[in-house]
Structure formats: C-alpha cells, structure tokens
Amino acid sequence: MARVLAVTNQKGGVGKTTTAVNLSACLAECGQRVLLIDLDPQGNATTGCGVVKRVALPTVYQILIGRSTVSDTRLATDSGFDVLPANRELAGAEVDLIDIAQREYRLRDAVAGVREEYDFILMDCPPALNMLTVNGLVAADRVMIPMQCEYYALEGLTDLVATLKKVRAKLNPTLEIEGLLRTMFDPRSTLTQQVSGELEGHFGSKVYRTIIPRNVRLAEAPSYGKPVIAFDRSSKGAQAYLLLAQEVLDRRAGKPDAVQAAAALGMQP
C-alpha cells in the first residue's frame, strides 16, 4: 500500500514544487513506484515533469468533480513515475465542489483505488489553505513541510501546525507530520544557521537530516521540463534530492538516523 505524502506549506516560494517533482524522480530512480499529484492550479509540477499543461486533459479537476478516474488521467513521465496533471481550470474546483457532498474526501476516495499500484503517492499542494489543500491533507498519511530557514518561515510554521491539528481533529485523525525539509539553504548566513538550530531543537527527529542547498541547476531544470537528476545529475541539488529519497526510504523502513545527508553535502548547520 502506498505511503501518501502531502508536500505542503501555506507560505509560497519555499520549494514545494521543486521538492515534489525531484523527490518523485529520485524515488523512482531508487526503484519505487511513484505517483505525483499536482494540486496547484499553476500547474508548475506538471510542467516540471515535461507535460504541456495547456493540452493536458483530463486533469485533477476532472477527478475532483467526478468526470474522470486516476487510471484514466495519469500520465507516464520520462523519469519513471506517473503524474496527475493540473492546469488553470483547477482553480474552478473551489466553486464546483461547494454543492458536492463529502467534498473534502473527493481526492482520498479517488486515490484509494490505485494505492496498491504504488509505493509512494506525493501531492504538490498550493500555497494556501483552500479546498484543494484540504483534499490533499485528508488524502494524505503524512505531511512533508519544505521551508526556508528564515524568521518569517518560523511564524508560518506555527500557523501550519495549527492547521494540521484542526484537519487531524475534524477530517483525518491519522494525519502525521513526516518531516520538515530545509530548502534553499545557505550555510554562510548566520540567521539561516540560527533558524536551522531552532528547528532541530524544537522538532528533533522530525527535521530531515538532508538539507537542500540553494542551487542554480535546481532552478534551471524546470525550464527544460526535467527533474534535476535528468538535467544535471552531478549538481549539488540533484545529489541532495537523491539523499533525501534514501532518507525517506530509511524512515519508512524504521531507520530514521541511517542517512547523514547534510554532513555528506558539507552543509551540516
């Protein structure tokens, strides 16, 4: 049965889509069967997988309103994983779901039929607490939280944890935080080091040992419609996500301290 991970943060620009796409590719590289669900109307995860979102039909939108199934919507990518694409029409789902019964459970119910076909299902959630994000959190087993090590990120994290507690209390009692992922990490910044230390002190083992560095190749890869391991496998960004994939696998196998990825990258805070 697949482990379903929602990659989410209410703050934008923290590396959610970059993480969802590249972790999917790296898990597939490790031999895992992976499905990536693009829940953001911007469709950046779709584009990052090499799918032309303007012509991608059907999409997650049709799944949510009951006009398509996961099996009929998923597309195979060149990187060895499947994707449920999204485009601008997904923004209309917020309105269309208003009159639908059990609207918070639409995605969970749709994904239930294919969970045995995958090892991991990742969801790229939009940077807002809307019905799309709620559907993702209700469908998820666990939440992965990418975040930058800066002051405002700590404030946003407090709000996000409060939101997750509400979802757990009212809609998904089994929802857990899988881990916090430090992204766009610059070890030269004193503030970055301080915030990173605070995260480790407060959340302990919930903080991934892997650190994603600020890396030009990571930023360039989406413009070519490729995950970074297909664009420049030797880059620090690609190596970081490969290490993250191994850490995710180790955590699932009950070995949370098996990978000292940050140290391996020379960026231990």
- pLDDT band at residue 263 under the 50/70/90 scheme: very low
- CA-angle at 82, arms to 61 and 111, nearest 5°: 50
Q: Residue 148's closest CA among 3, 9, 4, 1?
A: 9
Contact 145, 15 (CB under 8 A): no
Average pLDDT estimate for 1-26: 94
Average pLDDT estimate for 15-27: 97
Q: What is the pLDDT of residue 257?
A: 55
The answer to whether residue 256 scores a pLDDT higher than 70 is no
pTM of the model: 0.91
Of 14-23, 30-39, 54-63, the poorest mean pLDDT is in 54-63
Q: What is the pLDDT of residue 264?
A: 37
Q: CA 18 to CA 3: how far, in whole Å?
A: 19
Average pLDDT estimate for 67-79: 96
Q: What is the pLDDT of residue 265?
A: 37
Q: What is the pLDDT of residue 206?
A: 92
Q: How far is CA 182 from CA 169, 200, 255, in A?
A: 27, 10, 20
The answer to whether residue 36 scores a pLDDT higher than 90 is yes
* pLDDT greater at residue 155 or residue 198: 198
Cα torsion at 108, 49, 219, 262 (round to 10°)? 60
- pLDDT band at residue 59 under the 50/70/90 scheme: very high
Q: What is the pLDDT of residue 157?
A: 84
* Residue-wise pLDDT tens digits, 76-119: 999 999 999 999 999 888 889 888 889 999 999 999 999 999 99
Q: What percent of the chain has pLDDT over 70?
A: 94
* Residue-wise pLDDT tens digits, 212-245: 999 999 999 999 999 999 999 999 999 999 999 9
The answer to whether residue 269 scores a pLDDT higher than 60 is no
Pairing of strands 142-148, 120-124: unpaired
